[in-house]
Structure formats: structure tokens, C-alpha cells
Amino acid sequence: MKNDKQSYRGILLEHEPMRKHTSWRVGGNADRYYQPMDLDDLQLFMNSISVDEPVYWIGLGSNLLVRDGGIRGTVICTSGVLNQIKPVSENTIYVQAGVACPKVARQAAKMGLVGAEFLSGIPGTMGGALAMNAGAFGGETWNLVQSVQTMDRCGLIHERKPDEFRVGYRTVIGPHGEWFVASNLGLTPGDVAVSQQQIKNLLARRAKSQPTNQPSAGSVFRNPEGDYAARLIEVSGMKGTCVGGACVSDKHANFIINMGTATANDIETLIQQIAEKVEMDYGVRLHREVCIVGEAA
């Protein structure tokens, strides 16, 4: 870190336990953890970081496994901070990276705009949804994107179009060393009541099929082409399998639950065991959707 502590206004914590900031509730300490006040403050903070400092951005900490040895470097949390959402035109809304995806769905519906309802099923922020082209109920984030704002290591903001990114199923590759801070989403004017009812129905469907009341990170594996990871895991006999305090959910086989005592190593070991069993039984190599970062204990 450079010595510019007076230049930024957010909260900087040292040796911060990442279990407090991940939906799995596991993970070692981050050397530094920063929660900015707003976008301007984040620019100042990014400009204060040494060029060789490892930087990790998180939102709600879903879809993320932090190893038990923690993170060497600085974690930046945008959740609840980069939280602006506003109409730009008749069919476009501006959404900052820290806004939770279900809130985007609800706010769009209130504005009389349809097409974002599927976001209600994504338990993360727009920053994470943009970074991995998150999807649910047949919808995908980048189908809505008209443009994005990114921030680089120096705190400079770049306006970028979708054609500057390679976007696929749960994967997005763009300019190196830039992170998403906002997006403009293109939607369609529609009926508020119909959209709100659709969101309600999707949330009920999610609650019925997924263990939403237990610590998890959402879907662990991507669906292989023409099949479902959950089906393969279930028919391979892994449903209900546990390693330490981590168990494959009985409700949805593509979810791993922290039963209360799990370590990150328990979860990572179980992920590996699932992938090996499915490949051995069916010749299909499952690829992780969950991002794993940090050092082993």
C-alpha cells in the first residue's frame, strides 16, 4: 500500500476474517479489506494501492470459496456501497456493481420495465453477474447489457461496449486488470403487475428447489452441454455425501451446504470428489462455477 490514508474515506480493515463476508461462511483472513464510501472514494483508494498489490473484488461473497489460509492482498467489497440504480431512458437502467441482483429485478419491475425478472434468482450482486454472465430460469446477464463501466488499477473509469468482451456460458473475458463498476441494461416497457407476479413465482420456485435457508454458494458446477450437473451428481450417488461439515444438499445436488462446522478445505475436497466420481461413472468432467481464491491453511 502507498501512504495515502488521508485520501480515501472508506473503511480499511486488516486481517479481516473472510468467513464474515462469504455466503458459505468459511475462509481465512484477508490481509486488507476495504469498503469504499462511493465510486469516487473507490477511485481514490485504487490509486493509492501499489501496482504489485494483489486485489480481489467481491460483492455478497456468493459463488466464492476463500481458502482457510486467507488472502494475501487487498479485498474490495462493493456490496451495498456501489448501490445506485436509476432510469437512463425509456428502456435503459443504470445499475452499479454493488446492487444485489434481486433488487435489480424488483426495481426494474417498479419502473414498468420487463426482462430482468430472472435476476431475482441470482444470489449475488450485478458486479459478480457481469463478471461471470450469471443466469437463472433461462435468462443470462449479458443478454441485457448495452454498455458497462470498468475501473482499472489506477482508478480510471472506462466506458466499454459488449463487443469488447468475449461472453459465453458463465464466462466473460475482457480487458485485463479492469473490474466492473456499473452497467446500462436494456429492458422493455411492460406491465408492472405481471412482472412483479413473475418475480414472485420465480422466487417461490427457487425456494422449493434450492436450499435457500442454508449456507451455500449457489450452483457449484456449470451445467455440461445437453445435461444438468445436479442430475449427474445425483445419479452418481453423491447426493447427501459429506466431508467434515460440508455436505451435498439433499434438496439440490449441485449445492454444497455448510452444516455449521465446515472448513474451506472440507468444501474444496468435496468439490473434487464430486467431479472425480461423475467423471469416473459417466465420462463427463464437470467444471466449477464457483471461484476459489486464497491460500490453503
Active site residues: 170, 219, 289
> Grid coordinates standing for 278?
461423475
Angle at which helices 192-209 and 101-110 pack, to 10 degrees? 160
Can you tell me whether residue 11 is helix, strand or coil?
A: strand
User: What DSSP designation does 223 have?
Assistant: P
> In whole angstroms, what is the distance from residue 140 CA to residue 118 CA?
8
Residues 101-140 as b/e (b if ≥16 CB within 10 A, e otherwise) read bbbbbbbbbebebbbbbbbbbbbbbbbbbbbbbbbbeebb
Strand partners, 157: 151
Going across the sheet that includes 92-96, the strands are 85-89, 92-96, 178-186, 145-152, 157-160
> Grid coordinates standing for 147?
454498455
> In whole angstroms, what is the distance from residue 71 CA to residue 161 CA?
32
For residue 140, give the H/E element and its range: strand 139-140
Residue 6: φ, ψ to 5°:
-80, -10
Q: Which amino acid is at 284?
A: V
> In whole angstroms, what is the distance from residue 191 CA to residue 115 CA?
11
Closest alpha carbon to 270 in 251, 281, 292, 284:
292
CA 26-29-34 angle, to 5 degrees, is 110
> In whole angstroms, what is the distance from residue 97 CA to residue 150 CA?
10
